[in-house]
A = this chain, B = another copy of it.
Amino acid sequence: MRVRFAETDAQGVAHNASYLVWFEVARVEYLRAHAGGYQALRDTGVEALVLESFCRYRTPARFDDLLHVHTRCVDVKGARFRYEYSIVRDDGEAMAEGFTAHACVDAQSLRPTRVPDWLADAIASVESSSASSS
């Protein structure tokens, strides 16, 4: 994705909160590619809450930089799962990395609920194949 002008700040670089938005865009694309999409999850009455976020900022991203967000889903266990991210500029520069920790909850009661089997299976399938291919 391209760094938007609206995502920069008066230091001339992308604002630190923008990275969490990019992580989210990457999660959404991950679910679209591998598990029928985030809306599919929401349609089953399950919401995924964010429990924690972490980002290490290495090289400031600038307006119009072209960034790739590499994303893995790890540690699926009970209601919990975790994403790890690595943001790389198109010239190969490592820009940032981080993680987010999540819990599935029932959309009505907001009580924790197991990660649905179809999602856990989809994630296991993706991650085992990417592990074996790298």
Contacts and interface: CB of A to CB of B under 8 A. Distances in A.
Judged by DSSP, the binding face of A is mixed
Interface string A1-14: 01011101111110
Interface size class of A (residues with CB under 8 A): 35 or more
A39 interface: yes
A64 B52 contact: no
Contact of A47 (B4, B11, B18, B64): B11
Interface string A41-70: 000000101111111110010111000000
Interface of A: 2, 4-6, 8-13, 15-18, 20-21, 24-25, 28, 37-39, 47, 49-57, 60, 62-64, 100, 110
